[in-house]
Amino acid sequence: MPHPRLGQHFLIRGSVLERIAAAACPTPENLAIEIGPGRGALTEKLLKRAARVIAIEVDPYLAGFLEHKFAGEPRLQVVRADVLETDLAQWGHAAIAGNLPYYITSPILEKTVRLRFPRAVFLVQKEVAQRLAAKPGSRDYGFLTVQTAVFAAARLLFEVKPAAFHPPPKVDSAVVLLEPRPADPAMGDAARFLRFVGQCFRQKRKTIRNNLAGIYGKEAIEQWPEAGLRAEQIPFEGFAEMFQRLQ
């Protein structure tokens, strides 16, 4: 029985599994890390494209199932662990893939983009995928977009309907590709920069002036060309520029 609390919606459509594996490993890879392998449907496809696969599964029943299913496959290592407690960098450079458990999508994204892996391909809620790939000025552009853009360029690859899963989730899904991008020198320390971005988005409907004047002083912010804009209208580079002005 699928475990409802662990976000277990298994992909049953072969073409979707194939496309995720191909996006994660467009050319043969030495190593792929899979987050939440479940019953191993995506794992099988990844094993065709990567010399080794490390599959991290928290549910002991499913981990046992996988060990049994792939007993004759020395190229697969099943790791019985919570992905959020696992040091993913310990295996070195790897392509990352997963049909993610939706209840922990944000912490998984936050953790993986910071590692600057060559590529991560995740199946997530469509709404999250749209926020990750959103352009400034669009409804979906927000803190999550900028937080991700600090480390990675995000692209929505394709959408997946609930019927592709068993049991079907209540929401539409989509596959996103995340590729590392070089750090912007204007950004400085990422944690401090993101605190600043958080202040800019504090009240989404308010202008930069209104969100920042209380913290940095009205005079300083009033001069800025962005003072009358809302954070959702400002591209990533704009935040880096504003942040630099405050240094």
- 104 is a contact residue toward ligand SAM (CB under 6 A): yes
- 49 is a contact residue toward ligand SAM (CB under 6 A): no
**Cα 113 vs. chain centroid, distance in angstroms?**
7
Out of 33, 54, 94, 99, point to the residue binding ligand SAM (CB under 6 A).
Answer: 99
d(CA 214, CA 149): 27
CB of 225 to ligand SAM, least distance (A): 44
Which residue type does 149 have?
A
- 7 is a contact residue toward ligand SAM (CB under 6 A): yes
- 44 is a contact residue toward ligand SAM (CB under 6 A): no
Q: Phi and psi dihedrals of 159, rounded to 5?
A: -95, 155
Query: Which one, of 8, 26, 29, 9, lies nearest residue 18 by Cα?
Result: 26
Query: Which one, of 107, 106, 111, lies nearest residue 96 by Cα?
Result: 111
CA dist list (Å): 213 to 3, 46, 206:
48, 51, 11
d(CA 89, CA 15): 30
CB of 80 to ligand SAM, least distance (A): 9
CB atoms within 10 A of CB 237: 13
Binding to ligand SAM (CB under 6 A) within 111-150 occurs at none
Interface segment toward ligand SAM; rule CB under 6 A; list 5-13, 111-119, 133-141, 190-198? 5-13
Which residue type does 244 have?
Q
- 58 is a contact residue toward ligand SAM (CB under 6 A): yes
Nearer to ligand SAM, 132 or 150 (CB): 132
Which residue type does 69 have?
K
Out of 24, 31, 42, 177, point to the residue binding ligand SAM (CB under 6 A).
Answer: 42
Interface segment toward ligand SAM; rule CB under 6 A; list 23-31, 68-76, 80-88, 148-156? 80-88
The CA radius of gyration of the chain, in Å to the nearest whole number, is 20
Interface segment toward ligand SAM; rule CB under 6 A; list 99-107, 114-122, 181-189, 198-206? 99-107
- 37 is a contact residue toward ligand SAM (CB under 6 A): yes
Nearer to ligand SAM, 150 or 176 (CB): 176
Strand, helix or coil for residue 191: helix
Which residues form the interface with ligand SAM (CB under 6 A)?
Answer: 6-11, 36-38, 41-42, 56-59, 62, 82-84, 99, 101, 104
